[in-house]
């Protein structure tokens, strides 16, 4: 009996070793490619009424908090104290470096509406990023930091991915930088109701808020997708995650870099799935293709001779298994390209030639501009020279008027209607002079002498 127990224990030990050896080891992959994954913090300035900010605060504490909501100089009375203020709202995400000179890919929703985007590398360096462009339809954005000799990822081919294959994600879930999670490919070519142009890769890799925009790696250390969405009732991971195939994302990024926007092809049809009943009615061997229910008059499909009731079986030689396959293929086609459509009409196959049209442009993400069409300077100020009447009321020829403040200026507390009297003890008499002093500024910050109402105070302003 003792001999049998000993042999059983020995077998379990060797079986455990064999099982451990069969499990994938991600350590080398993470060591080699983790440095090219970045943390992204987006800041958006949102106007908020001071009265709204006090909602929910007990009455006996409101006076205490109002002291910290006073404008520079302590003036808490009048309209200035009741005016809406820009409050910074921050959100986080991930991204990955695709070129040594600082181009980074992420999700469009990570940088949407941002007044400031900050990128943090694994070596703790931080850079302000410029949004080159963001495409809402594909949820892909391209940003740029001023740096060189950066580590980069290797781009893979998502078409070679197999369902059941191991993949890993690196990102910043809930702000925990460079977190690694692993899983398998659950499915390919998934279509979501809100996204018509992306054949998503479905995985069971743990993806949570903050992972958005991070890379999905295959076991060869190649990026095959951008982690973009999760399916969840709670807002957290529930085992169903979606990544944008990297070939789709790179096509978008190339267009954003070259043109600042994305051009997509258009046929001008309304389509639906072919179910078993439709397949039988139209004489199809099985339910497949995209059933055309409406054709835009004068559109590319109309000119090509497409009719309602046609079933598109192939687009430029590529089979259409589901109706959602067609918009993805057409959108990826350059407008003006001549393509072929294999359609099923009157129980027979027919081939048509179509010149692909162009979808209406979506406005690409761009830097915000100031009011009245003026462009803010590098610290976020839009200024104007004082009128003679304003100078007379001030009793001085010194100062420039703040028309709007955003970015660093807003964060410093500068508001519309303030008058900037001096820059680091140098009196300012015109916008041109202020711009010159700003351009010549050295160091990390400036001290602005600001007049608001009857109060005058120096406000420290951080330089970008």
Catalytic residues: 109, 139, 212
Q: Are 438 and 377 in contact (CB under 8 A)?
A: yes
Q: Are 193 and 323 in contact (CB under 8 A)?
A: no
Tokens encoding 120: 């943090």
3-state secondary structure the chain: CHHHHHHHHHHHHHHHHHHHHHCCCCHHHHHHHHHHEEEEEEEEEEEECHHHHCCCCCHHHHHHHHHHHCCCCCCCCHHHHHCCEEEEEEEEEEEEECCCCCEEEECHHHHCCCCEEEEECCCCCEEEEEEEEEECCCCEEEEECCCCCCCCCEECCHHHCCCCCEEEEEECHHHCCCEEEEEEEEEEEEEECCEEEEEEEEECCCCCCCCCCCEEEECCCEEEEEEEEECCCCCCCCCCEEEEEHHHHHHHHHHHHHHCCCCCEECCEEEEECCHHHHHHHCCCCCCCEEEEEECCCCHHHHHCCCCCCEEEEECCEECCCCCHHHHHHHCCCCCCEEEEEEEECCEEEEEEEECEECCCCCCCCCCCCHHHCCCCCCCEEEEECCHHHHHHHCCCCCEEEEEECHHHHHHCCCCCCEEEEECCEECCCHHHHHHHHHHCCCCEEEEEEEECCEEEEEEEECC
Q: What burial letters (b/e) apply to 430-439, b meaning 16+ CB within 10 Å?
A: ebeebbeebe
Residues ≥6 apart with Cβ < 8 Å to 183:
166, 167, 168, 203, 204, 205, 206, 241
What is the phi-psi region of residue 60: left when phi exceeds 0, alpha when psi lies from -120 to 50, beta otherwise? alpha
Q: Calculate the dihedral angle through the C-alpha atoms of 102, 108, 112, 118, rounding to the nearest 10 degrees.
A: -30
């Amino acid at each position: 009996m003792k001999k049998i127990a000993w042999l059983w224990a020995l077998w379990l030990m060797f079986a455990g070793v064999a099982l451990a050896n069969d499990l994938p080891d991600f350590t080398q992959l993470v060591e080699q490619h983790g440095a090219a994954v970045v943390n992204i913090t987006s800041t958006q300035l949102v106007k908020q009424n001071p009265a709204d900010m006090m909602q929910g605060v007990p009455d006996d504490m409101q006076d205490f908090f109002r002291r910290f909501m006073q404008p520079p100089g302590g003036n808490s009375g009048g309209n200035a104290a009741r005016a809406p203020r820009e409050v910074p709202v921050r959100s986080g995400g991930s991204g990955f470096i695709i070129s040594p000179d600082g181009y980074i890919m992420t999700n469009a929703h990570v940088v949407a509406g941002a007044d400031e985007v900050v990128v943090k590398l694994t070596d703790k360096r931080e850079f302000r990023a410029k949004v080159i462009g963001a495409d809402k339809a594909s949820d892909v954005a391209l940003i740029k930091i001023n740096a060189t000799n950066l580590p980069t990822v290797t781009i893979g081919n998502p078409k070679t991915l197999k369902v059941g294959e191991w993949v890993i994600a690196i990102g910043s879930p809930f702000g925990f930088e460079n977190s690694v999670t692993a899983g398998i490919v659950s499915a390919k070519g998934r279509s979501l109701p809100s996204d018509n142009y992306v054949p998503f890769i479905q995985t069971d890799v743990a993806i949570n808020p903050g992972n958005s925009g991070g890379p999905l790696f295959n076991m060869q250390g190649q990026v095959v997708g951008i982690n973009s969405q999760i399916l969840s009732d709670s807002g957290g991971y529930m085992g169903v995650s979606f990544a944008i195939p990297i070939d789709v994302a790179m096509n978008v990024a190339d267009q954003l870099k070259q043109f600042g926007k994305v051009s997509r092809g258009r046929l001008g049809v309304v389509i639906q799935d072919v179910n078993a009943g439709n397949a039988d009615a139209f004489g199809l061997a099985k339910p497949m293709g995209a059933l055309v229910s409406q054709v835009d008059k004068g559109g590319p499909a109309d000119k090509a001779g497409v009719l309602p009731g046609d079933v598109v079986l192939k687009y430029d030689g590529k089979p259409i298994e589901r109706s959602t396959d067609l918009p993805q293929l057409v959108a990826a086609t350059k407008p003006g390209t001549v393509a072929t459509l294999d359609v099923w009409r009157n129980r027979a196959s027919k081939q048509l030639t179509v010149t692909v049209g162009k979808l209406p442009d979506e406005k690409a993400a761009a830097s915000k501009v100031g009011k009245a069409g003026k462009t803010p300077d590098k610290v976020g100020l839009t200024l104007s020279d004082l009128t003679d009447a304003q100078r007379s009321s001030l009793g001085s020829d010194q100062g420039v008027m703040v028309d709007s403040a955003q970015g660093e200026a807003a964060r410093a507390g500068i508001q519309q209607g303030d008058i900037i009297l001096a820059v680091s003890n140098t009196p300012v008499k015109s916008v041109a002079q202020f711009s010159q002093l700003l351009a010549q500024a050295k160091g990390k910050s400036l001290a602005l002498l600001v007049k608001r109402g009857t109060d005058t105070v120096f406000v420290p302003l951080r330089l970008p």
